[in-house]
Amino acid sequence: MIQIALQICLAFALTAVLLLLLRRPAMQAGLVDQPTSRKRHGRAVPLIGGVCITIGFVAAALPADLGLRDYQGLFAGMGTLLLLGIVDDLVEVDSRARLGIQILAALLMAAWGGLHVEDLGALLGPGTSLSLGPWAIPFTVLCVVGLINAVNMFDGVDGLAAGTVAIALGWLVLAGAVGGAGAWPVLAGLLLAAISAFLVFNLRNPWRRQAACFLGDSGSTAIGFGLAWLAVEAAAGTAPVLPPIAIAWILALPVSDAITLMARRALRGVHPFRPDRKHLHHIFYRAGFTPGQTVSILLVASAVLGGIGVLGAWAGVPEWLLLLLLLPVAAGQALIHARAWRIARLLGRYLRRARSRGSG
């Protein structure tokens, strides 16, 4: 236990030190995010979060006696996506090339790592089993690529994507520790520690009005893949601790946001990966919420949704019932997007009333 605690401290400390040391070299190399009409920050910000998190995580994991041979695919996949993201942050990579490399990383997990979802559980009723059979690897690859892009698309305001991943990892660490899962909860804890160090520099607070660094595509895709690996490990690995539907609750907020937006773009004849200002957090912006308030609301929502999935599974709530309860959550998020302007006006009206009462 002492060794694990030291490794967690190492992951946090090394990530924090790298964030301080690499800031100036990144600015000199042009690895920065410049402000545009679509981005709210007012100055160039270094895109070093992904590099620092990945190095901090891997460096802290290597001394561990965790049978890391089984996790070569995890490190290789994160490293591949990190390099792709760095190139994409410097010179934009074609979306088809990005998708192809993401599929390759997912195959590293499903084929080389031997980690894939074979059974979705009793979603059709008590005593049933929804086996995927030959579709297990394609389904897993689809889910992994989908989550990578969901995390990347959710990275629209300081602390949101990294905070959401951190909350998801927190639920996985707790479930793994309670379930006595062995190695992977330790890796999840190390990744959580590295992301937490990044959030110290990225989240807005009374002492930091603007983020000192961003994840960049390199960071959002790398930690998205790491989360995907650990989520599948928790549901379908050698030591599963949660049913797949509980994992769906943990990941519900970013995944629903991505699916809804991509579906709406496709219906309008727009490329699914084309960036816009119609994400969930943009609705709160239109209503008048500050970036900090927006992130706080969405992180609390993500934590609550994850808690319903994990605690519901522990309480013995049937998997089919957890699925039925999740459907209106997804439908509600889709409705919010479909009525974005109306929802923003309603939220803005509520916010103005709350502020007037507070000032009075």
Residue 100 has a pLDDT of 94
DSSP state of 209: S
Q: What is the pLDDT of residues 309-335, one digit of tens each?
A: 999 999 999 999 999 999 999 998 888
Residue 298 has a pLDDT of 92
Examine the pLDDT at 84 and tell me if it is beyond 70: yes
Q: How far is CA 114 from the centre of its chain?
A: 22
What is the pLDDT averaged over residues 238-255? 93
Examine the pLDDT at 1 and tell me if it is beyond 80: no
User: With pLDDT > 70 as the criterion, what percentage of the chain qualifies?
Assistant: 92
Q: What is the pLDDT of residues 261-289, one digit of tens each?
A: 888 777 777 666 666 666 777 788 888 88
Amino acid identity of residue 107, one-letter, is L
Listed residue (89, 98, 57) closest to 74, CA to CA: 57
Examine the pLDDT at 68 and tell me if it is beyond 90: no
For 280, half-sphere exposure in the C-beta direction (CA atoms, 13 angstrom radius) is 29
Q: In the predicted model, what is the mean pLDDT of the chain?
A: 87
What is the pLDDT averaged over residues 84-97? 87
* Residue 45 parent element (H or E): strand 45-46
Listed residue (280, 274, 272) closest to 333, CA to CA: 280
Q: What is the pLDDT of residues 204-225, one digit of tens each?
A: 766 667 788 899 899 999 999 9
- Angle at which helices 340-359 and 280-287 cross, to 10°: 50
pTM given for the model: 0.92
Both tokens of residue 336? Answer: 């919010």
Examine the pLDDT at 195 and tell me if it is beyond 70: yes
Residue 41 has a pLDDT of 47
Q: Which residues contact 251 (CB under 8 A, 6 or more apart)?
A: 147, 150, 168, 227, 231
